[in-house]
Amino acid sequence: MSDPVGAVPEDAYVDPRAAAVLRRYEAAFAGGAGSRGRAGAAVAGLPIPVERIAEDLLGLEVRESDALGEASGLLVPRERRVWLAGDEPAPRKRFTLAHEIGHWVCQCREGRTQVADVLCREVDLSTDTVTRALEREANIFAAELLMPRAAVRAVWEREQDVAAAAARFAVSDVAMGWRLYALGHVAYKPV
């Protein structure tokens, strides 16, 4: 946790901070570390309780709004509050919340509440490379948090079906497809 603000992990598909958050949640709320096996493999069961992680572990208030315009989510660090677009499907809201947690953990360091608000769109049109790097970092964190690699491997060995796996993790088929592709479980990108 000593890397400079905005640093993107060397390995695009590994962010140890997401696994660390899951371990902390498990230790605090799921009967103690180790009781459910390796963190991420079965932490508090699937799907990953992203809203409880935000509220109970990180002390963030999660609310919905119909006034975010084009944005899917908004992090207001000084208020420790996340706004989610109220009209999006539940799997999308879960990914957006995990993404905002990524901004909070990776870039706000869970306490630097004086940093500016972060408004996030599905497709970031910004050409500002710093902004794009921060968005990418938050997306990597979100994928790691919602779809831990050990759990993905275990589910994929049984399901072998993208939609069924997506249902287990309560993510969209597209998010699941990208995760399976990134981890080398499938050879094709989602359409």
- Contacts to Zn ion by CB under 5 A: 120, 135, 138
- Name the residue with the smallest CB distance to Zn ion: 120
Question: How does DSSP classify residue 158?
Answer: H
Strands 118-121 and 71-76: antiparallel
Cβ neighbours of 108 (radius 10 Å): 19
Q: How far is the CB of 154 from Zn ion (least distance, A)?
A: 29
Looking at beta carbons only, is 142 or 151 nearer to Zn ion? 142
Looking at beta carbons only, is 36 or 136 nearer to Zn ion? 136
Q: What is the CA radius of gyration of the chain?
A: 16
Q: How far is the CB of 167 from Zn ion (least distance, A)?
A: 25
Cβ neighbours of 114 (radius 10 Å): 8
Looking at beta carbons only, is 46 or 134 nearer to Zn ion? 134
Looking at beta carbons only, is 103 or 149 nearer to Zn ion? 103
Q: How far is the CB of 101 from Zn ion (least distance, A)?
A: 10
Distance separating alpha carbons of residues 11 and 137, to the nearest angstrom:
11
